[in-house]
Every structure is written in structure tokens, then in C-alpha cells.
Amino acid sequence: MNNVERFLAHAITLEREAARRYEELSAAMGTAGNPVVKEFFARMAYFSRKHLAEATARAGFRDVPQLGADDYEWPDGVSPEVADWVGVDGFLDTRAALQLALESERRGHAYYAAIATSTDDAELRALATEFAEEEAEHMAELEKLIATCAA
């Protein structure tokens, strides 16, 4: 990818879908009576909404394309932060929820990092690097939480 506007279209969709998915999981955990995991997913939705707002703000003065479902360049054909969430149910414990979120954040990080290392566009490289660094911060926080759960 060598186009900032196209990158932002992808980032906006990625973060919107991740936030929506975390919100759905939070609601499902509430319905299932698992308040700890419900709150965890609500926090993750907040972070995704924050990233969505940042990406949308950066796109504000640009001509960001409206992409159709087949126009996205996703690894494995799906948005990186919403893949592999099959089988989540009300019996999901906190550690499993953290692990699920960590894998999701790792895929998001890998997606942004791959763009940063493969693009020839300096502006896009800087932007993708920034997004990758934000995902890396989330990964570090999740790894600390997982270690706390293990202890």
C-alpha cells in the first residue's frame, strides 16, 4: 500500500469493526453474567473507538475513498482485529478474554507494521508506524494483565 488516503480508509474500517466487535462481546458477557470480562471488553471497545476517532480526524481534510467489501487489502481476507473470534461464549474467563484480545491486537500491529515496512511513501510509513506503536502499547498492557492473571 502506497497511498495515505487508502491506508486511512483501511484504518477507519479496522478500528470501527474492532470497536463494534468488542462492544458485542461486552454485551454478550453482561448477558451471560460475567461482569469482569464484560468490563474488559468495554475497555477494549473504548480504546478502539479512540483509535477510530484519531484515524477519522486524520482523514478529515483528505479525500478518503469509500471502499467496497472486495476493495480492502486484508490479510486472510478479513479485518485483522476481528478475525478468530469464533466460539466466544459466556463461559469465557478473564484470562481467555485477555488472550483473545492480545491475539487480536497482535494481528492489528502486524498489519500496520507490514505497511510501515513495505511502503515507499514517507508520510504513510510514519503514519503506519505510529498506528503500529499504539497497537504495541496495547499488546504490552495485555501481556502485563495476562501475567497478573497467571500469578
Instruction: Say if residue 83's pLDDT is above 80.
Output: no
- Three cell numbers at 116? 510501515
What is the pLDDT, as a whole number, of residue 88? 64
Distances (CA, A) of 68 to 5, 10, 39, 56: 15, 11, 33, 18
pLDDT in tens, 24-70: 888 887 887 888 888 888 988 998 999 899 999 988 888 889 998 88
**Residue reference for cell 508520510:** 123
Is residue 59 within 8 A of residue 12, CB to CB? The reply is yes
Which domains are delineated in the chain?
4-150 (1.20.1260.10)
Predicted confidence at residue 89, as pLDDT, reads: 64
Q: What's the residue count for the chain?
A: 151
Interacting residues of 49 by C-beta distance below 8 A, sequence separation 6+: 15, 19
pLDDT in tens, 6-19: 999 999 999 999 89
- Categorize the per-residue pLDDT at 87 as very low, low, confident or very high, splitting at 50, 70 and 90: low
- Mean pLDDT over 62-84 rounds to 84
C-alpha cell at 86: 469464533
Q: What gap in Å lies between CA 99 and CA 102, rounded to an integer?
A: 5
Say whether pLDDT at 151 is over 60: no
* pLDDT exceeds 60 at position 72: yes
